[in-house]
A and B are shown apart, each in its own frame.
Chain A
Amino acid sequence: MALLEISSLSKAFGGLHAIDKLDLHVDRGEIVSVIGPNGAGKTTFFNVITGMITPDEGEIIFDGADLAGLRPNQILALGMARTFQNVRLFPNMTVRENVMVGRHTRTKAGVFGAILRTPAFRAEEEETKRKAEETLSFFGTRLVGYRFDQPALNLSYANRRRLEIARAMGSDPQLLLLDEPTAGMNPRETLEITGLIGKLRDEKGFTVVLIEHDMRVVKGVSDRVIVLDHGSKIAEGPYDEVAQNPDVIEAYLGRPATGTA
Chain B
Amino acid sequence: MSLTAAETTELLPAREVQLDRAVRVGLIGGLTAMFIVTSGMLETFDLRMIVDPILSLGYVTLMAAPFAVGYVAGKAPPVLEGYAAPSVGARNVQAGAIAGALTGAIYALYALIIHVLDFSSVFIKLTEQTKKIVTLDMGAGGVLILALVMAVSGAVGGAVHLLERRWKRAVLYSAFWVVMFGLLEVLVSQIAFVRRISAVKELLYGTDAGLTLIGAVIIGGLVFAAYYYLDGRVRAATRRAMALEGQQRRRFILISLGVAIVFLAVLPQILGPFLSEVLDLAGVFLLMALGLNIVVGFAGLLDLGYVAFFAVGAYTTAILTSPVSPKWSPELSFWTAIPFIILAAAAAGVMVGTPVLRLRGDYLAIVTLGFGEIARILFLSDALKPYFGGAQGMLLIPDIDIGPFTIDDSISFFYPIYAFVILFAYLSYALQDSRVGRAWMAMREDESVAEAMGVNIVAAKLWAFVIGAIFAAIGGALFAHKIGSVFPESFAILVSITVLVLIIVGGMGSVPGVTVGALALVALPELLREFAEFKFLFYGTLLIFMMLNRPEGFIPSRRRARELHLDEVEQDAWLAQAAEQDPAPAE
Interface residues of A (CB under 8 A from B): 50-52, 71-73, 76-77, 81-82, 84, 88, 90-93, 97, 100-105, 107, 109-111, 113-115, 117, 121, 124-125, 128, 140-142, 145-146, 149-151, 154, 167-168, 171
B571 at the interface (CB under 8 A from A): yes
- The CA-CA distance from A97 to B439 in the complex, in Å, is 10
- Evaluate contact between B442 and A93: CB separation under 8 angstroms: yes
Q: Which residues of the partner chain A approach B454 to less than 8 Å between Cβ atoms?
A: 73, 76-77, 101-105, 171
Which of the residues B435, B448, B450, B587 comes within 8 Å of A114, measured between beta carbons? Answer: B435
6 A-B pairs closest in CB distance: A114-B434, A105-B454, A146-B574, A90-B445, A104-B454, A141-B586
A to B CB contacts below 8 Å, 7 in the list: A51-B452, A76-B454, A101-B438, A104-B439, A140-B586, A145-B574, A167-B453
Most B CB contacts (10 A, CB to CB) among A72, A84, A105, A107 go to: A72
Q: Which residues of the partner chain A approach B445 to less than 8 Å between Cβ atoms?
A: 90-93
Please give the distance in Å from A206's CB to the nearest CB on chain B.
16
| Docked complex: B432-469 residues within 8 A CB-CB of A | 433-439, 441-442, 445-446, 448-457, 463, 467
| Docked complex: B449-503 residues within 8 A CB-CB of A | 449-457, 463, 467
| Docked complex: B527-546 residues within 8 A CB-CB of A | none
Interface residues of B (CB under 8 A from A): 427, 430-431, 433-439, 441-442, 445-446, 448-457, 463, 467, 559, 562-563, 567, 570-571, 573-575, 577-578, 582, 586-587
If A114-B435, A141-B586, A150-B567 touch, does A171 touch B578 (CB 8 Å cutoff)? no
- Evaluate contact between A109 and B570: CB separation under 8 angstroms: no
Q: Which residues of the partner chain B approach A168 to less than 8 Å between Cβ atoms?
A: 453
If A91-B445, A146-B573 touch, does A117 touch B452 (CB 8 Å cutoff)? no
- The CA-CA distance from A22 to B437 in the complex, in Å, is 40
- The CA-CA distance from A128 to B434 in the complex, in Å, is 11
- Evaluate contact between A73 and B587: CB separation under 8 angstroms: no
- Evaluate contact between B463 and A111: CB separation under 8 angstroms: yes
- Evaluate contact between B463 and A171: CB separation under 8 angstroms: no
Please give the distance in Å from B289's CB to the nearest CB on chain A.
19
- The CA-CA distance from A121 to B441 in the complex, in Å, is 19
- Evaluate contact between B441 and A97: CB separation under 8 angstroms: yes
Please give the distance in Å from A89's CB to the nearest CB on chain B.
8
Please give the distance in Å from B379's CB to the nearest CB on chain A.
29
Most A CB contacts (10 A, CB to CB) among B455, B463, B577 go to: B455
- The CA-CA distance from A147 to B370 in the complex, in Å, is 44
- When C-beta atoms are compared, the residue in chain B nearest to A156 turns out to be B587
- The CA-CA distance from A103 to B438 in the complex, in Å, is 11
- The CA-CA distance from A167 to B427 in the complex, in Å, is 28
- The CA-CA distance from A91 to B570 in the complex, in Å, is 19
Please give the distance in Å from B382's CB to the nearest CB on chain A.
39
- The CA-CA distance from A101 to B467 in the complex, in Å, is 21
Given contacts A52-B452, A111-B431, A128-B435, 8 further A-B contacts (CB under 8 A): A51-B452, A73-B457, A103-B454, A114-B431, A141-B586, A142-B586, A145-B574, A150-B567
Most A CB contacts (10 A, CB to CB) among B438, B563, B578 go to: B438
Q: Which residues of the partner chain B approach A115 to less than 8 Å between Cβ atoms?
A: 427, 430-431
- When C-beta atoms are compared, the residue in chain A nearest to B582 turns out to be A141
- Evaluate contact between A72 and B435: CB separation under 8 angstroms: no
Q: Which residues of the partner chain A approach B453 to less than 8 Å between Cβ atoms?
A: 73, 76, 81, 101-102, 104, 167-168, 171
Most A CB contacts (10 A, CB to CB) among B431, B434, B451, B452 go to: B452
The B contact surface, by secondary structure, is helix
Q: Which residues of the partner chain A approach B577 to less than 8 Å between Cβ atoms?
A: 145
Q: Which residues of the partner chain B approach A97 to less than 8 Å between Cβ atoms?
A: 438, 441
Q: Which residues of the partner chain B approach A91 to less than 8 Å between Cβ atoms?
A: 445
Q: Which residues of the partner chain A approach B451 to less than 8 Å between Cβ atoms?
A: 52, 71-73
If A97-B441, A149-B570 touch, does A104 touch B455 (CB 8 Å cutoff)? yes
Please give the distance in Å from A22's CB to the nearest CB on chain B.
21
- When C-beta atoms are compared, the residue in chain A nearest to B577 turns out to be A145
- When C-beta atoms are compared, the residue in chain B nearest to A93 turns out to be B441
- The CA-CA distance from A76 to B575 in the complex, in Å, is 36
- Evaluate contact between B430 and A146: CB separation under 8 angstroms: no
- The CA-CA distance from A236 to B442 in the complex, in Å, is 38
Q: Which residues of the partner chain A approach B457 to less than 8 Å between Cβ atoms?
A: 71, 73
- Evaluate contact between B452 and A90: CB separation under 8 angstroms: no
- The CA-CA distance from A105 to B427 in the complex, in Å, is 23
- The CA-CA distance from A154 to B146 in the complex, in Å, is 51
- The CA-CA distance from A89 to B500 in the complex, in Å, is 28
- When C-beta atoms are compared, the residue in chain B nearest to A94 turns out to be B559
- The CA-CA distance from A144 to B344 in the complex, in Å, is 47
- The CA-CA distance from A167 to B442 in the complex, in Å, is 12
- Evaluate contact between B446 and A90: CB separation under 8 angstroms: yes
- The CA-CA distance from A149 to B77 in the complex, in Å, is 32
- The CA-CA distance from A176 to B563 in the complex, in Å, is 31
If A104-B454, A146-B573 touch, does A90 touch B436 (CB 8 Å cutoff)? no
- Evaluate contact between A113 and B434: CB separation under 8 angstroms: yes
If A117-B430, A151-B563 touch, does A90 touch B442 (CB 8 Å cutoff)? yes
Please give the distance in Å from A96's CB to the nearest CB on chain B.
10
- The CA-CA distance from A52 to B449 in the complex, in Å, is 9
- The CA-CA distance from A145 to B586 in the complex, in Å, is 11
- When C-beta atoms are compared, the residue in chain B nearest to A105 turns out to be B454
- Evaluate contact between B442 and A101: CB separation under 8 angstroms: yes
- The CA-CA distance from A73 to B427 in the complex, in Å, is 27
- Evaluate contact between B434 and A125: CB separation under 8 angstroms: yes
Please give the distance in Å from B476's CB to the nearest CB on chain A.
21
- The CA-CA distance from A110 to B467 in the complex, in Å, is 13
- Evaluate contact between A107 and B435: CB separation under 8 angstroms: yes
- Evaluate contact between A109 and B441: CB separation under 8 angstroms: no
Most B CB contacts (10 A, CB to CB) among A77, A103, A104, A115 go to: A104
Q: Which residues of the partner chain B approach A171 to less than 8 Å between Cβ atoms?
A: 453-454
If A71-B451, A72-B451 touch, does A100 touch B430 (CB 8 Å cutoff)? no
- Evaluate contact between B587 and A109: CB separation under 8 angstroms: no
If A101-B455, A145-B578, A171-B453 touch, does A111 touch B438 (CB 8 Å cutoff)? no
Which of the residues A72, A100, A110 comes within 8 Å of B438, measured between beta carbons? Answer: A100
- The CA-CA distance from A171 to B442 in the complex, in Å, is 15
- Evaluate contact between B438 and A93: CB separation under 8 angstroms: yes
- The CA-CA distance from A114 to B433 in the complex, in Å, is 8
Please give the distance in Å from B572's CB to the nearest CB on chain A.
9
Please give the distance in Å from A98's CB to the nearest CB on chain B.
8
- Evaluate contact between A52 and B586: CB separation under 8 angstroms: no
Q: Which residues of the partner chain A approach B456 to less than 8 Å between Cβ atoms?
A: 71, 73
Q: Which residues of the partner chain A approach B575 to less than 8 Å between Cβ atoms?
A: 146
- Evaluate contact between A111 and B586: CB separation under 8 angstroms: no
Please give the distance in Å from A140's CB to the nearest CB on chain B.
8
- Evaluate contact between A114 and B437: CB separation under 8 angstroms: yes
- When C-beta atoms are compared, the residue in chain A nearest to B562 turns out to be A149
Which of the residues B430, B433, B449, B571 comes within 8 Å of A84, measured between beta carbons? Answer: B449
- When C-beta atoms are compared, the residue in chain A nearest to B571 turns out to be A146
- The CA-CA distance from A101 to B453 in the complex, in Å, is 7
Please give the distance in Å from B469's CB to the nearest CB on chain A.
13
- Evaluate contact between B438 and A146: CB separation under 8 angstroms: no
